[in-house]
Structure 1
Amino acid sequence: MARVQLFDVAIARSGDKGDGSNVGIKARTPELYEFLRENLTTAVVKDHFKEICFGDVKRYELPNLQVLNFILEDSLGGGGTETLIMDAQGKVHSLALLHMEMDIPDALLA
């Protein structure tokens, strides 16, 4: 096992809708997708964003694209028009998730 950032195994994109943001994580290989599908749970993502996500985290699987899409409810302080927080649109949430570290089997990193 190796402790790596998600940067090493995935790419990401994020956006927003009202007071929630979404983060899509695309695995670099089908094998990494299966690993992330099993291990990158809503609980793991909720814990990673515990300081900004005050609502539920929902996950949608898109296996044909090797993507997991997470919806972080109540994560934008009311949304772009209702808050004074710096990133009310959630554009950096994908970057924040890519910084998360996980233990990943060495065989998947080769």
Structure 2
Amino acid sequence: MPTHADVNIISLPRLAHARAGDKGERLNLALFAYDPRHYDTLLAQVTEVRVQALFAHRGVSRVRRYPLPGLAGMNLVLDDVLQGGVNGALNLDGHGKTLSFLLLGMEIALPATHAE
């Protein structure tokens, strides 16, 4: 990720919002840009590799990303991340809705020339 003076590092919620759903061990995260002008930036930086690294501590085995250009969004499908699922997990609230906030904790490099 660039760290030059021509780039601002911002938190993802300044550019997008997320929705989540879960079924068994699979988590579905939908991410949508508030402004379609930021879609290409999100697509370039919210990659399968970065998302897998972000959720590695939860044991995620695979991340698939499905771009939704007409909606300025993407759908992320994470396998084996729910630690047994809602009914099988020993931890509290370790399912989809809470994990969308983990995704929104990601930092994004936004060119300084972009208006937020």
TM-score using structure 1 length: 0.90
Shift of 1:59: 0.5
- After TM superposition, where is structure 1 displaced by more than 6 Å over at least 4 residues in a row? none
Give the deviation of 1:96 after TM superposition. Answer: 1.2
Partner of 1:97: 103
Partner of 1:74: 80
> How big is each residue's C-alpha offset from its partner over 1:53-101, in whole Å with a ceiling of 9 and x where there is no partner?
4210011111111111111110011212222121243211111111111
In the other structure, the counterpart of 1:49 is: 55
- For structure 2, the residue ranges without an aligned partner over 5 or more in a row are 1-6
C-alpha RMSD over aligned residues:
1.4
Is 1:14 equivalent to 2:28 in the alignment? no
Aligned counterparts of 1:50 and 1:20: Cα–Cα separation in 2: 14
**Alpha-carbon distance in 1 for matches of 2:113, 2:28:** 30
Q: 1:26 maps to what in 2?
A: 32
- Where structure 1 has 5 or more consecutive residues not aligned to the other structure, the ranges are none
Alpha-carbon spacing, 1:77–1:17, altered in 2? closer, same or farther (3 Å): same
Q: Relative to 1, partners in 2 of residues 1:53 and 1:32: Cα closer, same or farther, differing over 3 Å?
A: farther
Q: Which moved more, 1:99-108 or 1:10-19?
A: 99-108
The two structures have a TM-score, normalised by structure 2, of: 0.86
More helix by share: 2
Identical counterparts, % of pairs? 35
Q: For residues 55 and 99 of structure 1, do their structure 2 counterparts lie closer, same or farther at Cα, with a shift above 3 Å needed? A: same
Listed one character per residue, the Cα deviations across residues 26-55 of structure 1 (whole Å, up to 9, x for unaligned) are 012222111111221100111111111421
From 81, 87, 92, the equivalent of 1:86 is 92
Mapped contact 1:53–1:72 kept (Cα < 8 A): no
Asked if structure 1 preserves the Cα contact closer than 8 Å seen for 2:22 and 2:96, the reply is yes
